[in-house]
Chains A and B, each alone.
Chain A
Amino acid sequence: MSYKIPMGPYHPALEEPYKLDMICEGETVIDAKLHIGFNFRGIEHLAETRNHIQVIALMERVCGICSNIHTLTLCRAMEGLTGLTPPPRAQYIRVIMAELERLHSHVLWAGIAAKLMGFKTMFMTCFEIREKVMDILAAISGNRVNYSMNRIGGVNRDITDPASILKMVEALEGEMARTVIPIFTTSRTARSRCAGIGVLTTEKAISCGVVGPVARASGLPQDLRKDAPYAAYAEMEFDVPVQPDGDVRARLLVRALEIMESCKILRQALAKLPPGEIHTEGEKFAFITGTSTARVEAPRGEVMYSVSWKEGSRNPARVHVRTPTFAVMPAIRWMVKGARLADTPLIQASIDPCYSCTDR
């Protein structure tokens, strides 16, 4: 006989507002339905009441983890409507901020995943490392969460001493290579808790249109930094980790390997940071009538902004955001089917969901 177990809307493991209704037989999940929208904020509609400066500050608040990515994508879309091109130094700083944000997001996720695995020492280690990433972000931008770095035509703050930031990144890389990476890639605890659990097959990943590390952990080698390079990514050498198994362990491995790839990109970008301006100073611009679309590879996958503007208008006519969690979350239904009930919090966490982005 089957029975229903509702989990949420205050999620017991992830402490965020969404609900999963699971139909179980014994301890096995037979089917599941997801419900979101408990904290819908109407940010897209609000954006239509903000001018080109205010809208950047607003969209930075779509997400507290990848706030920089949202302003980067928005500014790239608005640059398409104004014809402004950021100078090379700004493009490099955009890469540095994006990779630091990826590091902080992945390490934060690793900590939460470790906690859900019952590996609380690792949770503390991850959060200690994450603090150091946050210190670097604060050293560059002056802020820990909403960095206010992006503007139309460039960035707001320069990296005046890349050598010192490089030292911090190298120290961080060494620490992660010693602790987080070996434990997540070789530990028996991680393996026994994650292998073969929450499988999303390649076929289902394609059908659901999942993005980011979840797609790459299901054998799909898609990454906008390689497929459609933006900012200065075309000048960076890095690999895109792909795992074929589609289980929680594959998602863990992909993110662990991406941490090291991000460090590789950071070292290159800081070492090659070109001289020059950080934004198109004093250049007058005006918005043309039309729609501009921009995509960026956020820590959780592809973010897409469509911005529509009418010439002479103070505010955008429309701002649409497609966040990665919005694309990935429906796949949870297929991941938990057939899983043990006790594994479902870890399976849900394995997509690194962001409800703030989803309920934008």
Chain B
Amino acid sequence: MSSLETIQRKLGISVSFVEQGGVQWLALDATKVRELAKAMNEIHARFITITAYQLPKDEGFRLEYHWDLNGQLLGFSIPLAGKSIESIFDLTEAADWIEREIHEEYGIDFTGREYEPLLLRQGETPGVNLRDVVAASKENI
């Protein structure tokens, strides 16, 4: 059984990985994020980062989680209907700063964890969407 099949089996899903631009992509539901982190730990994949995308209009956000498995880049695309998702920090220590950064940049809440003081902008307000702040400041000019 290949590593990719092992991941699918551990996540209990039948959808297959799709190779695109050297990345093996898998679309997942937000409820699977902690199972994903556990599966990645079990196969000794290295956590790289989370990328947040704000979708047009009121479509919400999309998060992309990335792990490295022996040089193979794995990408997991997770749409967010609201503005929260379970934190994986307790399972994946390396996700700490990027969860805090996304919280501070986009106002997305990673539930089940405590936030330390601001990472990105010392002295500012936590949990706001920076894009909205920038857009509002432009309107005021």
Some 13 contacts from A to B, beta carbons below 8 A apart, are A35-B117, A40-B120, A42-B130, A42-B134, A206-B44, A207-B94, A306-B51, A320-B49, A320-B52, A322-B49, A330-B94, A330-B96, A330-B97
Q: How far is the CB of B78 from chain A (nearest CB, A)?
A: 13
Per-residue B-contact encoding for A299-319, CB less than 8 Å = 1, 0 else: 000101010100000000110
Complex CA–CA separation, A322 to B46 (angstroms): 14
Which of B64, B118, B130 lies in contact with A306, CB distance below 8 A?
Answer: B64
Mark out the residues of chain B between 106 and 141 whose CB falls within 8 Å of any chain A CB in the assembled complex. 116-122, 130-131, 134
* Total chain B interface residues with beta-carbon distance under 8 A: 36
Q: How far is the CB of B97 from chain A (nearest CB, A)?
A: 6
- Told that A222-B46, A292-B21, A293-B23 touch, could you supply 12 new A-B pairs with CB distance under 8 A? A35-B117, A38-B122, A45-B134, A226-B71, A227-B70, A227-B71, A228-B22, A295-B73, A306-B51, A306-B66, A322-B98, A330-B96
Residues of A in contact with B, size category: 35 or more
SS class, residues of chain B in contact with chain A: mixed
Per-residue B-contact encoding for A197-237, CB less than 8 Å = 1, 0 else: 00000000011110000000000001010111000000000
Given A293-B66, A304-B48, are A326 and B23 neighbors across the interface (CB < 8 Å)?
no
Per-residue A-contact encoding for B80-116, CB less than 8 Å = 1, 0 else: 0000000000001110111000000000000000001
Residues of B within 8 A of A35 (CB): 117, 119, 122
Complex CA–CA separation, A293 to B96 (angstroms): 22
Complex CA–CA separation, A207 to B37 (angstroms): 12
Query: Is A209 within 8 A of B48, CB to CB?
Result: yes
Residues of A within 8 A of B118 (CB): 37
Which of B71, B93, B131 lies in contact with A209, CB distance below 8 A?
Answer: B93
Complex CA–CA separation, A290 to B62 (angstroms): 13
B residues sitting closer than 8 Å to A (CB atoms) are: 20-23, 44, 46-49, 51-53, 64, 66, 68, 70-73, 75, 92-94, 96-98, 116-122, 130-131, 134
Residues of B within 8 A of A293 (CB): 21-23, 66, 73, 75
Query: Is A209 within 8 A of B51, CB to CB?
Result: no
